[in-house]
Structure 1
Amino acid sequence: MALRLVSDNSRKKGRRVSGDYFDYTLLFVVIFLIIFGLVMIYSTSAYQSAAANEGDSTGFLKKQLLATIIGIPVMMITIFVDYHWWEKFSFIGIGISFVLVFLVLTPMGLEINNARRWIKVGPLSLQPAEVVKIAIILWCSVLITHFMELHKKENIGRWKSMAYILSVPFVFAVLLWQVTSNLSSAIIVGGIAALMLYVADPDYKKYFFITIIVAVIAALIIAYAVKVTGDDGGASFRLKRISVWLDPESDASDKGFQTLQALYAIGSGGIFGKGLGGSLQKLGTLPEAQNDMIFSIICEELGLFGALAIILLFILLIWRCFIIANNARDLFGAMLVVGVMAHFAIQVVLNIAVVTNSVPNTGISLPFISYGGSSELFLMAEIGLVLNVSRQIGLQNNEDNTERVERVERRRRT
């Protein structure tokens, strides 16, 4: 970690002087994932794009590249604009998110694959769920910070305090589930808020019991889904997904088709894969190969070796976020990074779990790799916030070192 002392004149004049520290490891990991994602999007979508766009195999790639290009200045802004400045927009972000969620019900709403989750303005489309995620991270960071400044640290673990902090994320989780039929994003929003509160609360015991309760409820839902689908077949869409998750071959031509094709792709890749571009499942067999199921194509083309390499890169990304949060200048910065870290961790784990049929299919993208302009743009903004917090780690240490030097000088003079 590179540090430099802040001059006495700078401290006396009250100027903000940033340290030399910058987490280049995190930046390089993100750059690699973005570039790798563009390569894999072209690999997985070239055939379908050429068939749909009169021979143009770069249709999906162009759209993702445009979102990435737009995301670069956005990320630069969040890197170099002091993260404390965004604190004042926490309430505004919640209000904008609320409006955007309901805009999907208006003529601006865009329906894709029987799901109305996007809004369209001219040639651009936006998924409100991505705005909600970053708004919830900012909101919870502000709320937890203010709460812990006004009250004792132990009070944040009281049930009343937890309910107060989780109320807004819970409302948005329900809205995303019911209004946009986006259960996966609802789970992510709830998970982000819960993990941020878990990190802020020094009493971890209660979360163990909460986890047990959630596990019991999940087991009851699974048992109910199996019973309902087995009795009369009149279960809802999501209950059928749970039943198919347990036995995808029972509905191999419909609900279990995508899962089975993804597993075939993973199994056929072997240790080192068929080579980049060598996938057969992407040739119209595996639905949404460039979106939710792109990890299965990575396994098929690059094998177990390539899949583990990508997983290790995500682990490195999450670890760097952990280091930055642990050394953040203040609680607000730490909670911002924890929120982003929780977002990436939940989304990566759920995506890989869905592709490998470890959990029911919920339609979750793989960060920076799956196709999706809205996701790419806001993920880059979130990484910019993390790098912004990392830039000010040195500032706190600089001030501490300067004060230490001043104390030594005073002792020498006395």
Structure 2
Amino acid sequence: MPKRRRGEKKTTYFDYNLLFIIIFLLCFGLVMLYSSSSYTSANKYGDSAHYLKLQARNIAIGLVFMFYFAKKDYHVWRKFGRLAYWGALGFCFVVLAKVPGLTRSSHGQSRWIQVGPIGFQPSELAKIAIIIYLAMLIERIPKQLDKVSSMAKVGIRLVPLVLFVAVNNLSTAIIILGIAVCMLFVASPKYKEFFVVAVLGVLFIFAFINIASYRSDRVEAWKHPETAGDKGYQTMQALYAIGSGKLFGKGLGQSLQKLGNVPEAQNDMIFSIICEELGLFGAVCVILLFVLMLWRMMVIANNAKDLYGALLVTGIMSHIAIQVVLNIAVVTNTIPNTGVILPFISYGGTSLVFLMAEMGLALSVSKGIRLDTIE
């Protein structure tokens, strides 16, 4: 790269548009979180702002991670690719083995590692770990990915982590698989082989659904929620909320379904409350915000100064897109209930912190773009 002449202005870039979208989504999420959780918080904890305060704390921690990753040169993480993968695998094994004193359960499933006051979900760590690991791996063998055998070798390395996650959290395993497939698809000149991968992925999901009875029960509840009793209750209440919102909604804070009718209204089902209070118009605006975010990340990936940066942003973009689609599909009963949150808006600690760390990575990649090369 030619040296910059004395007096010549530096033409590097930083994507403030993406940063603005992130901050706007976080602020909007706080408003909707308070609206959807105030009734439950008041009844359960005696404080209508209980979940709001916790989420504000989560955002503060997430901002620290985001700005740290944004400031750090993203190339540093290349050498931590294997460590990230094996670390995530180890933590997932600890959860799977239910090691006494280190794990705790959520909704009947052991999904958390708890050490004193610090707790996190290894499955969320696995998402960012797989992005860093695959970006490192693919960058080293880009020309070899035109061979099916090379793609198979990469895929086999991911199997242990996907299996460990899938036992307790099939939805997260699907997201991890989706991220890996998207990154390989972008890096590989082969396309027909991905049809085979898609078929194998469907077979994998079908097998895991039938292994555990509670997963097959969810499929039955999805097909006939109106007759599924308690198993279809959450879905039916979410659909009532969406239908009652009509075009412009009942108004912010005016939801009736959040008053104890929609379970986990502040988590997986927050999109149904958005639809009820802000209507179809509000729902479309939220979707467009995510589309804008994905577009900004696509610009960054297309103009990244190297393959590693492009692959990092592609993985992050895939993660956001898959999770948003899955959440909205669940809320609208397009697919069976999978327990996936809406990024930046739903209540969550581990997921939000790691998502914001990923955003920091994307912003770090954007810093390496030259203004005269942006397409």
TM-score band, normalised by shorter chain: over 0.9
Identify if the C-alpha distance between structure 1 residues 112 and 396 changes in structure 2 by more than 3 Å, giving closer, same or farther.
same
Q: Which residue in the other structure is 1:117 paired with?
A: 111
- Distance in 1, matches of 2:136 and 2:369, equals 19
Q: What's the offset of the Cα at 1:102?
A: 2.7
Moved over 4 A (4+): 212-215, 217-222, 395-398
Q: How many residues align?
A: 370
**SS of residue matched to 2:370:** helix
**SS of residue matched to 1:118:** strand
- Is the counterpart of residue 372 in structure 1 residue 361 in structure 2? no
Q: Which residue in the other structure is 2:14 paired with?
A: 22
- Distance in 1, matches of 2:198 and 2:133, equals 24
> Is the 8 Å Cα contact of residues 130 and 374 (structure 1) preserved in structure 2?
yes
Render the CA deviation track for 1:52-89: whole Å, top value 9, x for unaligned.
11x21111111111111011121111111110011111
> Is the 8 Å Cα contact of residues 12 and 369 (structure 2) preserved in structure 1?
no
Identify if the C-alpha distance between structure 1 residues 221 and 74 changes in structure 2 by more than 3 Å, giving closer, same or farther.
closer
Render the CA deviation track for 1:261-309: whole Å, top value 9, x for unaligned.
1111100111011111111111111111111111011001110000000
Which residue of 289, 299, 302 maps to 1:323?
Answer: 299
Which residue of 278, 283, 289 maps to 2:265?
Answer: 289
> Is the 8 Å Cα contact of residues 130 and 378 (structure 1) preserved in structure 2?
yes
- Distance in 1, matches of 2:109 and 2:340, equals 14
- Is the counterpart of residue 166 in structure 1 residue 155 in structure 2? yes
Amino acid at match of 1:119: I
- Distance in 2, matches of 1:268 and 1:116, equals 36
Identify if the C-alpha distance between structure 1 residues 396 and 162 changes in structure 2 by more than 3 Å, giving closer, same or farther.
farther
- Distance in 2, matches of 1:18 and 1:194, equals 37
Q: Which residue in the other structure is 2:56 paired with?
A: 65
CA RMSD of aligned residues (A): 2.4
Which residue of 247, 263, 272 maps to 2:224?
Answer: 247
- Is the counterpart of residue 385 in structure 1 residue 361 in structure 2? yes
**SS of residue matched to 2:141:** helix
- Distance in 2, matches of 1:162 and 1:396, equals 35
Q: What's the offset of the Cα at 1:326?
A: 0.7
1:15-414 matches, cutoff 5 A: 19-53=11-45, 55-104=46-95, 105-106=98-99, 107-148=101-142, 153=143, 155-178=144-167, 181-211=168-198, 217=203, 236-251=213-228, 253-394=229-370, 397=373
Amino acid at match of 2:35: S
Q: What's the offset of the Cα at 1:351?
A: 0.5
Q: What's the offset of the Cα at 1:209?
A: 4.9
**SS of residue matched to 1:338:** helix
TM-score normalised according to structure 1 size? 0.84
Identity %: 51
TM-score normalised according to structure 2 size? 0.93
Amino acid at match of 2:4: S
> Is the 8 Å Cα contact of residues 49 and 58 (structure 1) preserved in structure 2?
yes
- Distance in 1, matches of 2:123 and 2:207, equals 25
- Distance in 2, matches of 1:373 and 1:352, equals 20
